[in-house]
Chains A and B, each alone.
Chain A
Amino acid sequence: MFLRKIKRLLVSPGTTILLILIFLSACIIGITVPQISEKSPSYFDTWKENNLYTYRFVTRLQLHRVYTSTWFLGAIGLTLVSLGYSLYRQTKKNLGQRNASTNTEENRGNLSVVCKKITYPDDIRQLFRKKGYRITSTETGRDNFIFFKNSLGKWGSTVLHTGIFLVILSAFFAFAFQKRGFVQIIQGDTFSGNHSDFVVKDLGVFAQDFSLDFTTRLSLLNHKYYESDKIKNLESIILLDDKKGNSRREVISPSEPLDINGVRIYQSYNYGYTLSFMVKKADGQEVITHFNLDMTKQKDAPLTGKSDFPTTPYIFEMKFFPDLNGASFFITKPIVYLTISEIITKDTLFNGLLLPKHSIKIKDDILSFIGITEWSGLIFTQNPGMTLSYFGFALIIIGAIVMFGFPYKEVSTSIQKSNGDTIISAYVHTMRYPATFKEDVRDILEQLV
């Protein structure tokens, strides 16, 4: 009894509407309430200080991480169960029915047309056939026919909802098992593929380790621009070496990711120049450091960066002008405007221009600008649910087209003779659009008049 009630509740229209409304609310909250995935922790600290009650309300209901909140995941889980059970029932019903005529009165209608000439059953049969209707094998009489069209229409809803089911299922897969990592590879350098060498990682709740069975070497980064500063072409030429010693050369661009051994590699829009410096300390020790500067949106604008120089007491503030014909101070070479300060005292030790292959003296050390290369950002992902998502996407579209574009239609016709006239009566029923269907059938029958 209880189980039956639960089952009835799962497929009830009210539950469906409620779940859609919960989903809608979550989306609106996701847009309007600041989310932890978008804001820094300090933003939430400030919020807490300024408005404790609102902050408490938001955090208790997990509105600041709405898409991973317990209530949202619970609602999605319930959607999955409800959809699954509903699909089971729909499939059972569709397989059990000869055709999919609906039992609701709104989807049915009667109409009749009076013909002033003699109409033969064959005329009706031919006319409906011409309009794409098929005749059922079971005729209720010699002059009575049942025509139907779009018999696949009854599967539209099942296919569409199966698609939604698969997409939600794959989203759960991604939430649990997806692996995603970002690396910055300097031209000529190799990324080992080790879990610890990713700059940023985003793993599913049950995903443990993201190590690759191949290494990635960046041979070349190409970036070309339109006159309007907009990027025209961005691609990385990479060399992939697996543990068996196989090597392959590939080109990755934003519109052409690469699939290899179940891992997909994407070209990120994060890329730029790498400035390499060497500090030769007074005791003869040499320290080399590479600074990766992010490319700006304007191609002529300088690339900037501020960072400490490891194992030295210096902070570097760089303004790099890569474009030879652009806004560089120095006409023929790329140049860096460098400010060096001491970490503890904050004293400025150097403030000026430095050319590649040139050196300057800072206190007792010698700093050399040893080279300029480029770096490329690559994203590595592994998502076992992706194929399922794509399959789900395809089913959603096919289902929607079949369901609303080709609904099941059925016409039962009968012929009667009265005072020398032929009266053709038709009884129509359809899955959708009964009023226009009735008009269409009337138009067809009136061709006989």
Chain B
Amino acid sequence: MDVLTIELVVLWCAAGLYLVSGILFVYSIVFRNEHASKQSMFLALAGLLLHSVALMMRWGISGHPPYTQKYEIYSLSVWTTILFFMILGWRRPKLRIIGIVIMPLSLLVMAISLSGNPAVNSLSPSLLGIWFHIHAISNALTAGASILAVGASIIYILKDKRQDLEFYAKLPSLDVLDEYAYKFAAFSFIFWSITVVSGAIWANNAWGRYWAWDPIETWSLITWCMFALYLHVRHFFKWKGRKAALLLCLCFCSSVLGLALLPIFIESIHSAYFQ
């Protein structure tokens, strides 16, 4: 077995652990079993460790950090999501329950990653600058933060609907859930700002223009504006709770549309990185 195959096997094992962890999260909610919730955290952690090994192997094989093609970009995004989730679960045990949303979403992104071509991509000259690395890393961090934000929003909507259930009483209060969604949305906004800005500087160095109104970069600006809109309506119009949660879900859908779907349908200079 060559190293690339071993890396692929390790990544599939990590995906398997995430899957089992996700199933256990669902089980813990359906049967209100707290023990299963703890076990699912351990499984997610084991998956994260294997995933880290796979990414390190990938880095070793290709000779460059793992974010230059679809297979790598989505894999790194899942890794950051699970890492953020682990940190959150460790610092705020009550919030571990959002794993019921995080794990399926992460698995979905992982499935997109695994559907990509795992053959090692060679770096083109335009990918040599530091700004590309900042752009790609902050993009992965945005994915992680926004998946957590949408996870907290979905749990908020669920709890808001069925507050009478005993199980939901164990969850953090609606205010705290709402605020975590806000916090993660704010972090998404920070990382997204870094992504857009570093992308603009990188484009200026590589192509002589910092903004060319290319569909993908325009969509990234749309998503940034959507997050700005969310933050503004929260601040000015005191949008909280369900309304804010739904708007945040819409922001998340916008980023998914821009990063995952648009490159498939629209010709763009960015398309090559998502194939």
A residues lining the B interface (CB < 8 Å): 13, 16-17, 20-21, 23-24, 27-28, 30-31, 35, 37, 67, 104, 106, 171, 180, 226, 228, 230-235, 253-257, 264, 266, 268, 379, 381, 386, 389-390, 393, 396-397, 400-401, 403-405, 432-436, 439
Contact = CB atoms under 8 A, between A and B. Distances in A.
Interface in B178-219: 178-180, 182-183, 186-187, 189-190, 193-194, 197, 200-201, 204-208, 210-211, 213, 215, 218-219
Nearest to A404: B186
B236 to A, nearest CB: 3
Contact of B225 (A24, A253, A389): A24
23 contacts: A13-B232, A13-B236, A17-B233, A27-B222, A30-B218, A31-B215, A230-B124, A231-B125, A232-B122, A232-B124, A233-B125, A234-B125, A254-B207, A266-B207, A266-B208, A268-B208, A390-B201, A393-B200, A396-B193, A400-B193, A405-B187, A432-B186, A435-B175
Contacts of A23: 225
B206 A255 contact: yes
Interface string B117-141: 0000011111111000000000000
A404 B187 contact: yes
A232 B124 CA distance: 5
A433 B182 CA distance: 8
A230 B122 contact: yes
B115 interface: no
Q: What 5 pairs between A and B have smallest CB-CB spacing?
A: A13-B236, A404-B186, A266-B208, A255-B128, A435-B175
B178 to A, nearest CB: 8
Interface in B221-237: 221-222, 225-226, 228-229, 232-233, 236-237
Contacts of A226: 122
A177 B168 CA distance: 60
Interface of B is mostly: helix
Residue of B189, B210, B225, B266 with most chain A CB atoms under a 10 A cut-off:
B210
A434 B226 CA distance: 23
A266 B204 CA distance: 9
Interface in B144-181: 173, 175-176, 178-180
Nearest to A437: B179
Residue of A28, A234, A266, A381 with most chain B CB atoms under a 10 A cut-off:
A266
B243 interface: no
Contacts of B228: 20
Nearest to B179: A435
A245 to B, nearest CB: 29
B215 A405 contact: no
Contacts of B189: 400, 404
A20 B266 contact: no
B179 A31 contact: no
Contacts, number: 121
Nearest to B267: A38
Given A27-B222, A400-B189, 4 more contacts: A13-B236, A396-B197, A433-B183, A435-B173
Interface of B: 122-129, 173, 175-176, 178-180, 182-183, 186-187, 189-190, 193-194, 197, 200-201, 204-208, 210-211, 213, 215, 218-219, 221-222, 225-226, 228-229, 232-233, 236-238, 240, 266
Given A16-B232, A386-B204, A433-B182, A401 B190 contact: yes
Contacts of B233: 17
A46 to B, nearest CB: 19
Given A13-B236, A24-B222, A404-B186, A180 B201 contact: no
Contacts of B208: 180, 257, 264, 266, 268, 379, 381
A16 B236 contact: yes
B25 to A, nearest CB: 23
A231 B183 CA distance: 42
A67 B206 CA distance: 23
Contact of A31 (B178, B190, B211, B219): B219
A436 B206 contact: no
A436 B179 contact: yes
A436 to B, nearest CB: 5
Contact of B197 (A264, A268, A397, A436): A397
B179 A434 contact: yes
Contacts of B126: 254-255
B183 A436 contact: yes
B210 A389 contact: yes
Contacts of B238: 104, 106
A209 to B, nearest CB: 19
A28 B201 contact: no
Given A393-B197, A396-B193, A401-B190, A253 B125 contact: yes
Contacts of B179: 433-436
Contacts of A24: 222, 225-226, 229
Contacts of B194: 397
A20 B228 CA distance: 8
Contacts of A232: 122-125
B149 to A, nearest CB: 12
B159 to A, nearest CB: 14
A371 to B, nearest CB: 27
A264 B201 CA distance: 14
Contacts of A396: 193, 197
A229 to B, nearest CB: 10
Given A255-B125, A255-B129, A405 B173 contact: no
Contacts of A264: 208
A31 B218 contact: yes
